[in-house]
A and B are shown apart, each in its own frame.
Chain A
Amino acid sequence: MRHIIAVLLENEAGALSRVAGLFSARGYNIESLTVAPTDDPTLSRMTLVTTGSEEIVEQIKKQLNKLIDTVKLLDLSDGPHIEREMMMVKVRAERPDREELKRLTEIFRAKIIDVTETSYVVELTGASKKLDAFIDAIPEGLLIEVVRSGPTGITRGEKGLTLS
């Protein structure tokens, strides 16, 4: 099963490589991993997406918790949560295709953020599946480049993954 796990890490050199090393050393799947500092500059927040049986995901969480740099961990999949991923797509946009690409962008509530004579860059944020659907919807032969951030997530309701 797919799990999305949020981790608060000490914002120390090497913390990211400890997490990456853990996954490769123990042979765990990792679909995506994003990390950035938080409002508290001493903390980084990492979101990782992994798949595995319940036993394996349980071990992954225990092993992550065991890292000395891990301050707090939450499996977002355990409760109601919101997941978002950002994507930028570069498409070939010559005269005959421009209108259809604009329509598609509107349907997906995406934004065109760069325009040239022959190309668009489209920005789209949403659940990973929506991003997949957008890529699928682009007419064949027009896709030039896809950049995805990997999902991040947050729990619903007033409780947050914070230190307190």
Chain B
Amino acid sequence: MALTGAKPNGADKAEADAKANRELSGAEIVVQALLDEGVELVFGYPGGSVLHIYDALFKQETVRHILVRHEQGASHAADGYARATGKCGVCLVTSGPGATNAVTGIATAYMDSIPMVVLTGQVPTPVIGSDAFQEVDTVGITRPCVKHNFLVKDVRDLALTIRKAFHIATTGRPGPVVVDIPKDVTDPNIKIPYHYPREIRMRSYNPVEKGHPGQIKKAVDLMLQATRPVFYTGGGVVLGEGSAQLTELVRATGFPVTSTLMGLGAYPTTDPQFIGMLGMHGTYEANMAMHETDVLIAIGARFDDRVTGKIEHFCPHAKIIHVDVDPSSISKNVRVDVPIVGQVAGVLTEMLRLYQAQKPQPDPAPIADWWAKIADWRRLDCLQYDRTSAAIKPQFAIETLCKVTDGDLYLTSDVGQHQMFAAQFYPFDKPRRWINSGGLGTMGFGLPAAMGVQLAFPEAQVACVSGEASILMCIQELATCKQYSLPIKVILLNNGYMGMVRQWQELFYESRYSHSYVDALPDFVKLTESFGHVGMRVERPGDLEDAMREAFAMKDRFVFMDVVVDPTENVYPMIAAGKGHHEMHLSPSLTDRELA
């Protein structure tokens, strides 16, 4: 192993000693700790309680601060940055409304296990509890939506607490950590010796690393006997950097693989062994395979209700193997037969080794029969839609986006129909390319998340697929995109409705469209232009590809494409709430056909 970061020579040691003896104020400690953590970007918004920290930020140039236009934007941008890079996202907001505005983004990160450190200002310690100006109990408000949180009451605890925050956020099952810092703790006039601990040990926090060898052996034994196996993979494979190991194991076994919304890209979605996303809007073949499987291999997935459908009908014939870094995910919703707690990458490597060591390798005939069955399901072509429509179909818009960008985008999305169409129709052959709010389902996530991604990868093509309802929830970030010249492309699938709400109302409320029509929409082209960006509006299918090519050719401009799509289009297949995998609603054009 290379000794990267180690500085053995004397000059550096002297420099380190000088560094070690430095006296810093609390505000300077915050900034220095971020430097020591290797933080490149901080997304934030200043305010009274964090003014000392902002002053310390002003005096240095290594940590780059990105000024958002609303604290929700800061937390989503830090989140998007973390999802795309795998590093810890950082945001900095003031007390009171600064903190409460950030909460939606914190909860979003928590539900999807995204590593994030959120520094919040707090009123000075002597007035905590007195209902001071811009005081809220940030630690209390965020407690249920963070992995952990801290209130730092003494400047001498500040460096260690920040170190702990990064350690907790990025290890085990990742998640957001809030560090609440009262203003007096950052007082520029109180200086103390600065020491930032490299190594940290917490007696109360020891995440599991390696999976239990006996359990892995049991799992592989089940896999070797399987006749109708399925890999069911989730966001944990992406978060645990297990994509390469998963791909190897899937290819070695020849088993089919399906993925949750959060796991897309962990295994290349264009590969023939990938049978599509599963769950509420999963493919027919993936959901039917789940229903018929005899050995389910769940990797870094958490058996979410949008995935399982009705638990009583979930994988009725299967023995279930579950690999997860979080013991509390195991047997939480569905009782599993072979639990394995550990980092997915290591467990997958060990599974592969044991699988390949088996001599002779298992009879390929049952797996071939299984694939024949899957091929039958696939022939249904469950994602088909009307390609002759005079209106732009949202599916067509995503397919065109794929064509224009060669399927090579970092794609963020908001929440609703457009999110599902993007998940179904855009290919993700690499992890960390598909960035969306899966667990919390936060409308308004897409645009600020795209900012985080674009700032992390200035040369990459970043797009945000959104809806006209979602985009308005964080529209103020168009100003941030202008300030930092972020060449993001927004693909707005504008159907004039909260599409997913409308779909449910059509299907389950006898088409009573209660408050799902977004009346009085802005002129998005003018709106975008007023922020200094390029706006485009496309209304006909025939114009779409050229318009998209034009948009993506503007490499240094933010382009907002208002794409007017068919307002009546629904997302299919669909498993209604409370139904099983085998009870899918299919697109109306398919429902008259006999199902297997």
Contact = CB atoms under 8 A, between A and B. Distances in A.
A147 interface: no
15 contacts: A10-B204, A14-B149, A17-B140, A18-B143, A25-B144, A55-B331, A55-B335, A59-B328, A62-B327, A62-B330, A66-B328, A68-B147, A68-B205, A69-B204, A163-B203
Interface in A9-32: 9-10, 13-14, 17-18, 21, 25
Most buried by A among B140, B143, B168, B335: B143
B139 interface: yes
Interface in B140-178: 140, 143-144, 147-149, 151, 168
B22 interface: no
Contacts of A163: 203
A68 B328 contact: no
A56 B205 CA distance: 23
A65 interface: yes
B15 to A, nearest CB: 34
A63 interface: yes
B122 to A, nearest CB: 13
Given A21-B143, A65-B327, A68-B147, 8 more contacts: A9-B204, A25-B144, A55-B331, A63-B328, A66-B326, A66-B327, A68-B204, A69-B204
Contacts of A59: 328, 331-332
Nearest to B148: A68
Contacts of A69: 204
Given A13-B151, A14-B151, A58-B331, A71 B140 contact: no
A50 interface: no
Interface in A75-115: none
B203 A71 contact: yes
A62 B203 contact: no
A9 B332 CA distance: 24
A70 interface: yes
Nearest to B164: A68
A58 B203 CA distance: 22
Interface string B312-329: 000000000000001110
Size category, A interface = 20 to 34
Contacts of B204: 9-10, 68-71
Contacts of A62: 327-328, 330, 332
A13 to B, nearest CB: 7
Contacts of A10: 204
A59 B328 CA distance: 6
Contacts of A66: 326-328
Interface of B: 139-140, 143-144, 147-149, 151, 168, 202-205, 326-328, 330-332, 335
A10 B148 CA distance: 13
Nearest to A10: B204
A139 B402 CA distance: 82
Contacts of B139: 14
A65 B341 CA distance: 14
B106 to A, nearest CB: 15
A70 B140 CA distance: 18
Contacts of B328: 59, 62-63, 65-66
Contacts of B335: 55
Contacts of A58: 331
Identify the 3 closest CB pairs spanning chains A and B, nearest first.
Answer: A62-B328, A68-B148, A71-B204
Nearest to B144: A25
A17 B140 CA distance: 9
Contacts of B144: 21, 25
A63 B332 CA distance: 10
Nearest to A15: B204
Contacts of A21: 143-144
A68 B168 contact: yes
Contacts of B168: 68
A139 B47 CA distance: 64
Contacts of B147: 68
A10 B204 CA distance: 8
B143 A17 contact: yes
Contacts of A25: 144
Contacts of A63: 328
A55 B140 CA distance: 29
Nearest to B149: A14
A128 B261 CA distance: 49
A163 B202 CA distance: 13
A77 B383 CA distance: 53
Contacts of B143: 14, 17-18, 21
A51 B140 CA distance: 27
B330 to A, nearest CB: 8
A106 B534 CA distance: 89
A55 B328 CA distance: 11
A37 to B, nearest CB: 16
Contacts of B140: 17
A21 B335 CA distance: 25
A21 B147 CA distance: 13
Interface in A143-164: 163
B356 to A, nearest CB: 33
B386 to A, nearest CB: 45
Nearest to B168: A68
Contacts of A14: 139, 143, 149, 151
Most buried by A among B140, B147, B327, B335: B327
Contacts of B151: 13-14
A58 B168 CA distance: 24
A62 B327 CA distance: 7
A21 B203 CA distance: 22
